[in-house]
Structure 1
Amino acid sequence: MAATTSRTLELLSLLQSHRHWSARELVDRLGVSERTLRRDVERLRELGYGIESMRGSAGGYRLEAGTGLPPLLLTDDEGVAIAVGLRSQATAGLRGAEHTTLSALAKIEQVLPAPLRRRIDALASHATPGVGPGGGASGRDGTVGRPTPEIDTELLGALALACRDAERLRFGYTDASGQTSARVVEPYRLVPVARRWYLLAWDRQRDDWRTFRLDRMADLFPTRVRFEPKPLTDDEARERVERALRHRDRSVTARVIVEMPREELVEHLGRYGRDVVADGPSRSVWPLEADYIEILAMALMWVPRGTRYRVEGPPEVLEFLAEQAERFAAAAGRGPAVGGRD
C-alpha cells in the first residue's frame, strides 16, 4: 500500500507540472505497466482530480482546468515561495482580498514542517519590501531586458536565518570585474531591487557596510559565531543598498597591478589599502573606484615611488591616463607641449 500511495503521489506531482504527458513517458518515469498507470489515474480521479485522457499517437494525460481546487503537492521550496508571497501581499494589503489572503496563508503555514516555518519567518522579518519597476532603484543594475539570475532558495533561506540569528558568515564573492575574494560579514537584511536580491552586511575585513548580489555568492559557511547587531531599520537598509547601486552606476573602476607583496603595499597605503589582494608572493592587485576619472588618477600617486605597476580598466580610463602622461612629460620639459589653447 505504501508503494502504491507513493507512486500515485509521484504521478500527481508529474501531472501538476502543467504539461502534457504521453502514456509512454509516464510509464518510463514511474517504472510501471500501462495497466498500472491507468489504475493510478483512476485513483486520482476518485480523489477529485480531473484528468483528461487523449487517444492516438499523441495520446496521454493531463490535468483539466476544473472549477474546484483539489489538494496540491508542493516541494519545500514551493511551499516557502507561496507562503512568503502571501505574507508579502497580506502586509501590503491586497485590495478586496485581505481575508482570503490571510486564510490561504494560515492553511499553508499550518501544514508546513517547523524548519520551513522558521525559514519563512526569517525571510519575512529580514527581507525589506522590494523596489520594482517604477521604483527608486529600478533598472539601476542593468537588468532591464536581460534574464533574471536564478537564486537558490536554500541560499536565500540560509541568509535570512543568519540575519535573524545575528550569525557571522563566510563566503566567496565574485565582483563585477570578475575578481573573487573570501568575505567574512555580519548579515543584516535581504533587499530585492529590480529583480535581483542583495545582502546588506557589515564587512569585518573592510570595516564598513557592503552590498552583495546573491547570484555572485558561493560556498556559504555559517560560522556559529554571534554578533551584536547595529541599529538598522528596513528603510535605512533599503537606502544603503540603493545608494550603493547608484554609486556603482556613476563610478569608474580600475585594477592596479603592483609589483610589491601585499603586506608591504597595505602598510604603505594604510586604510586605503584594505581592498588589496595578493596576486602571488611579490605582486598585488589594488582595486580602485571613484566618482570621477580624475580622482581615480590621483590615487595612483600613492603607489610607492620606483615601484613598477600597470593599470587595467575601461578604455576611457586608460586613454585619460595616457593623455595625462603626455601632459606631465610636457610640463616637466620632457616632451612636446600638448593641450594648449589658441
Structure 2
Amino acid sequence: MNRTARLYALVEELRAAAPRPLTVAALAARFEMSTRTVQRDLQALMAAGLPVRTAPGRGGGWSIDREMTLPPIHFTAEEASALAVALAATDTRAPYAGAARTAAQKILASITGPASAAAQELAARIVTLPSPSDSTVRAAVEQGLTSHTVLRLTYIDAAGRESDRVVEPAGLLTAGGRWYLIGWCRTRGAGRGFRLDRITAAVPTAERARPHDLTALLRGSAAADAVRPTTLAPLTPLA
C-alpha cells in the first residue's frame, strides 16, 4: 500500500470508529504496519489540517471529527484534473484562496498513474501574475462569512474617503475580476457592497450577525441581476 492509499485508509478507519478513539497499536495491527509508520502518518494528517486529534492516557488514542470531514468522493480522471487545475489557478486575492490551494493539493495527491501525469502537465501550462493581496483582510472576511459574525472594517470608497464601518456579512459578489463583500452596514443603516481591495483593515468580532437575504441586499443596485455560478447552483438557489 503506497503512502497516499495509507493516509486515505487511516482517515476512513478513524471516521468509521468516530467518536471512539483508536490506538496506534490497533491501527498498526489493522493495516499490518509498524506503529512508527502509523504514528508518522497520523501526524502528517494533522499537519495537513485534517481534524485528527490525539488524547493521552488510558482510553485515549487518535480520533477524527466526522462533522468536519467528507467521505470518499470518486472523481473521474478528467474531473479530478479539472478541479485540481481550477483550484490551483485561483486568484490569490480571491476569498478562500488558501483553502482552494490546499484542496488542489489533496486532489492531486489522490490521483495516480497517467491521470496524475496529465493533471500535472496541464497545471504546468497555467501561470498567473502575482497580485498585491492583504491576507489579513481576506482572512477576517472569510472568518466573518463562515462564522456569521459581525466585522469592523476600515474602507476607502471610490472618491478616496476613508470611513470605519460595522458590517453584518451576507455574501460575496464577483464582477469584472473584482471581489465584493455584500452585507448590512450598521453605520449607514443599509445594504452595501465593499470592494475587497479597498478594505484597508478588517477585524472579526465575537458578535453574531443577523441573517440577511443576499438577493434583497442586491435589489436596486447595479448587481441586482447577479446569479449564482452554474457550478454552485445545485447546492442552493440564490433567491
Q: Answer whether TM exceeds 0.5 for this pair.
A: no
**TM-score range, shorter-chain basis?**
0.3 to 0.5
Q: Which has the higher contact order (CA 8 A, sep 6+)?
A: 2
Q: Normalising by the residue count of structure 2, what TM-score does the alignment of the two structures yield? A: 0.39
Q: Work out which of the two has the higher radius of gyration on C-alpha atoms and give 1 or 2.
A: 1
TM-score between both structures, scaled by the size of structure 1: 0.28
